[in-house]
Structure 1
Amino acid sequence: MQASGYPAAAAHGQASTPVQVSVILPVHDAELWLDECLGSVLQQDFEGSMELSIFNDASKDKSMTIIEKWKEKLEVSGILVVIGGHDSPSPRGVGYSKNQAIAQSSGSYLCFLDSDDVMMPQRVRLQHAAAVRHPTSVFTSNGPTVIMPTWFCSRAWFSHVGPFDEGGRGVPEDLLFFHEHLRKGGGLVRVDQILLLYRYHPGAATHSVLETTIWTHRVRFLEEWALPHWATFTIWNAGRQGRRLYRSLTAGSRCKVVAFCDVDENKIKKGFYCYEDSQERPKPRVPVLHFRAAQPPFVICVKLDLTGGAFEDNLRSLNLQEGRDFLHFS
């Protein structure tokens, strides 16, 4: 669906050769960031054919003026630019905008980008090379989290998994897509370089999604996708996050928790965690053990890169296999 005033979506039909990579860029009131963002598209060192597919989601600022300025620069350099959008009174959301940008694009591979982020020059080249080798995976770059603007995948795989949820503000469309990707057997490959600068600011779309919404989706998916394969498991972290996960589980999943594990001597010395708010009688009391005394599989509720490598060293020392013996939840 495309509103009047955005006729350029047909521009990709002018291409003399098939487009290899489409950069998917939803835009809403992004004038503060667009120059840097679009400049990073121009600086890509990818030698194949590339297009930029922009969908303007009812921007009221000068975003379209900036886009038109960059359109000429990009096309002179050989990057096709496809522009769609609508000028309704209200934006329709990130999921809708991504779907529209994908629909109007033609590349065999999709490179996702947010309008407030900046790509490193090697991003498209390295992720395209990885995607050719792994056709049913999504690709991220070096970092502790899987964030949407680092993703890269084939159009065929996106069509198999997608589209994005179009519920609009407050819906974690990227998380829902990723869960569906895993349900359908998709993999995750990390190109071990920094490929994107992620800009975290008060106006970012991510702030429209409540943390409790994301938490609930993640817990339910953990119970659907992973926990049915385990008769019992240990929660790695006897602190706030580990206890929160335990309390968030359904009663059936809580029964599978045989212990918490930690390195904090005070928590271990206490010996157990009692779920005081439980309606069960007697109230559940779960042992707290040192991680070396605990039994896998583990659901790990420890954030990565926060302990100077100590947690990562401890985990590696157990010689466990991710997916079989442990899963990262945080």
Structure 2
Amino acid sequence: MNIIEKWQTKLEEKGIHVLIGGRESPHPKGVGFAKNRAIEQSVGRFLCFLDADDVMMPQRVRLQYDAALGHPHCIIGCQVKREPEGSTERYTRWINSLTQEQLVTQVFTSHGPTVIMPTWFCSREWFDSIGKFDESGKGVPEDLMFFYESLRKGGGMFRVDHCLLVYRYHSEAATHAVLEETIWKERVRFLEERVLNGWPSFTIWNAGKQGRKLYRCLSAANQKKVASFCDVDQSKITKGFYTYEESKINPKPKIPICHFMEAKPPFIICVKLDLTGGRFEENLNSLKLKEGVDYYHFS
């Protein structure tokens, strides 16, 4: 609060009105509740989000405002600098290197929104057309849920390719309170809704733990569409089949396991990117497929 009050004085000396809101309670209602109250109290045509543990770079508001004028139905993001340097290296590289197309195609991955919440900037009109953040409280991925709802309503994403935010990593960050299983269920539901319900059949790339977990979490209708699992692990391929004993489908499904070169697209890929020294990426590129048409990343 001391920091906020110092900035209130500095800004109001420049003629910029600052409204400070808060709630005294031993039972906090969570991030979604706080953001919704702040938005209700604000009056501007545009919303620029900044978490308490992050730092804005000079020109952030101006550059994202310019981008928002050209992309009125988009959530605008930016590149970030992670602090301390070297923390979550793969995640930071992913944030900063996604192409504009991948901002759309990689929305199902475990990383979460392709335009990350601390960098969000959008028009109030677009925010209001989507609705509010979920206010269920601790453990709820309110940013991911809002992000998906924006996509459902025809929204897009745009990233300003300048580093405009210092994104701090620490053990007390609110994001650590969100259960991985909660995020997993949201992702599976959105994948089925946006992709799998429209595919007649598909292959799950990964016959291991992650691929089998995805299969088990699919609806019965989408389980029936799984033509095969594919992998590079010869021990898994030699087994020949994966049988899901707990299936509600009768008879029990027996899914073939084959080498990725023998599998047929489209694929849902349950192999993490940037973890195999480039071997997985080389295998995928060798098939000359198009992301968003022939495959989607899920892990």
TM-score (norm 2): 0.79
| Aligned with residue 261 of structure 2, among 282, 292, 317 | 292
The change in CA–CA distance for 1:198 and 1:265 in structure 2 (over 3 A counts) is farther
What does residue 306 of structure 1 align with? 275
2:52 & 2:7 partners in 1: Cα distance? 13
The change in CA–CA distance for 1:329 and 1:124 in structure 2 (over 3 A counts) is farther
1:291 & 1:191 partners in 2: Cα distance? 36
SS at match of 1:188: strand
Task: Map residues 1-330 of structure 1 onto 2, 5 A cutoff.
Answer: 64-76=1-13, 80-142=17-79, 143=92, 144=94, 145=111, 146=113, 147-330=116-299
1:193 & 1:262 partners in 2: Cα distance? 38
What does residue 105 of structure 2 align with? none
SS at match of 2:18: strand
2:164 & 2:241 partners in 1: Cα distance? 43
Structure 2 unmatched runs, 5+: 80-91, 95-110
The change in CA–CA distance for 1:81 and 1:225 in structure 2 (over 3 A counts) is same
Q: What code does the residue aligned with 2:25 have?
A: S
SS at match of 1:175: helix
Identity %: 64
Q: What code does the residue aligned with 1:252 have?
A: A
Q: What code does the residue aligned with 2:264 have?
A: Q
Q: What code does the residue aligned with 2:168 have?
A: R
Q: What code does the residue aligned with 1:72 have?
A: T
What does residue 39 of structure 1 align with? none
Measured after TM superposition, the shift of residue 215 of structure 1 is: 1.2
C-alpha deviations, 1:186-245, integer Å up to 9, x for none?
A: 122333444433333332222322211121122122222221111111112222111111
Q: What code does the residue aligned with 2:119 have?
A: T
Q: Which piece of structure 1 moves more, 247-256 or 270-279?
A: 270-279
1:169 & 1:89 partners in 2: Cα distance? 14
Q: What code does the residue aligned with 2:215 have?
A: Y
Measured after TM superposition, the shift of residue 262 of structure 1 is: 2.5
C-alpha deviations, 1:123-170, integer Å up to 9, x for none?
A: 434433332222212233454332321222222111111211111122
1:77 & 1:309 partners in 2: Cα distance? 51
SS at match of 1:182: helix
Q: What code does the residue aligned with 1:219 have?
A: V
SS at match of 2:6: helix
The change in CA–CA distance for 1:152 and 1:90 in structure 2 (over 3 A counts) is same
Q: What code does the residue aligned with 1:160 have?
A: S
Measured after TM superposition, the shift of residue 254 of structure 1 is: 0.6
TM-score (norm 1): 0.72
SS at match of 2:27: coil
SS at match of 1:288: strand
Based on CA coordinates, which of the two structures has the bigger radius of gyration?
Answer: 1
2:209 & 2:77 partners in 1: Cα distance? 29
Measured after TM superposition, the shift of residue 282 of structure 1 is: 4.3
What does residue 6 of structure 1 align with? none
Q: What code does the residue aligned with 1:207 have?
A: H
Measured after TM superposition, the shift of residue 252 of structure 1 is: 1.1
Higher relative contact order (CA 8 A, sep 6+): 2
2:165 & 2:273 partners in 1: Cα distance? 19
Structure 1 unmatched runs, 5+: 1-63
- Equivalent pairs, count: 267
- 8 Å CA contact 2:72–2:123 kept in 1: the answer is yes
2:238 & 2:66 partners in 1: Cα distance? 51
1:125 & 1:317 partners in 2: Cα distance? 42
SS at match of 1:83: coil
Q: What code does the residue aligned with 2:30 have?
A: G
